[in-house]
Amino acid sequence: MPYTYIVQCADSTYYTGWTTNLETRLAAHNNGSGARYTRGRLPVALVYYEYYATESLARKREYAIKRLSRQNKEEMAPADRTVN
């Protein structure tokens, strides 16, 4: 199942990515084997995600989110900044 997601890093920056297994990808980010960007900004917390029917759609959405401003990304995330 392809997902597009946003995590908030320990330094309050946001990282956007896509994956087919959200739990595994979050664990990879937090154990330091995820994206290079997040390795020096641990831990990360999931603040937003969307499910898509295809990987292509998830990647396109990732690209669109990465082009958004920080304020737009903050508006996408719930007020408590974590997704259950």
4 CA to centre of own chain: 7
pTM over 0.75: yes
Phi, psi of 79 (to 5 degrees): -60, -35
Give me the residue label for tokens 């956007």.
Answer: 16
Cβ atoms of 81 and 43 within 8 Å: the answer is no
- Report the C-alpha gap between 60 and 43 in whole angstroms: 26
Over residues 37-60, the pLDDT tens digits come to 999 999 999 999 999 999 999 999
**Residue 76 reports pLDDT greater than 60:** yes
All structural domains of the chain with their residue ranges: 3-76
- Cα(57)–Cα(41) distance, integer angstroms: 28
The CATH number that domain 3-76 falls under is: 3.40.1440.10
